[in-house]
Amino acid sequence: KAGVTQTPRYLIKTRGQQVTLSCSPISGHRSVSWYQQTPGQGLQFLFEYFSETQRNKGNFPGRFSGRQFSNSRSEMNVSTLELGDSALYLCASSFSGGGPEQYFGPGTRLTVT
């Protein structure tokens, strides 16, 4: 069974630009969650999508948005990039959401210059 895949793995963007990250969940999984990992803040929950609907949202500004497609693939978008958005962005998938069934991808390393 293929794991969670994230593309691209590495990305360098300039302040003010926007970026789109992609996550393909494990086949059959309907929940996709996104997390931001930074050295100072650890892993912070961004949002969760379940069956194409945003089910939960973390405490991030509106510049961070996401969506989920009918095949459960998910994208997150960050507009007007700031230096502080440099981080590892992780997505996790599960069949129904959360718990030990949540499998993480390897992440996308975003660097904003």
Partner 1 sequence: DQQVKQNSPSLSVQEGRISILNCDYTNSMFDYFLWYKKYPAEGPTFLISISSIKDKNEDGRFTVFLNKSAKHLSLHIVPSQPGDSAVYFCAASAYGGSQGNLIFGKGTKLSVKP
CA distance 86 to 26: 26
- Rule CB under 8 A: say whether 87 interacts with partner 1: no
Q: Find the binding residues for partner 1 in span 40-69 (CB under 8 A).
A: 41-45, 48, 50, 55-56, 58
Strand partners, 43: 37
Task: Establish how many alpha carbons lie within 13 A of residue 40's alpha carbon, considering only the half-sphere containing its beta carbon.
Answer: 3
| Contact code string over 13-32 relative to partner 1, x by CB under 8 A | ------------------xx
**Among residues 35 and 64, whose Cβ is nearest to partner 1?**
35
Of 85, 94, 110, 112, the one binding partner 1 by CB under 8 A: 94
Residue 83 CB, shortest distance to partner 1, in Å, is: 20
* CA distance linking residue 5 with residue 51, whole number of Å: 18
The residue among 41 and 113 lying less far from partner 1, judged by its C-beta, is 41
Q: Which residues bind partner 1 (CB under 8 A)?
A: 4, 31-33, 35, 41-45, 48, 50, 55-56, 58, 90, 92, 94, 96-100, 102-107
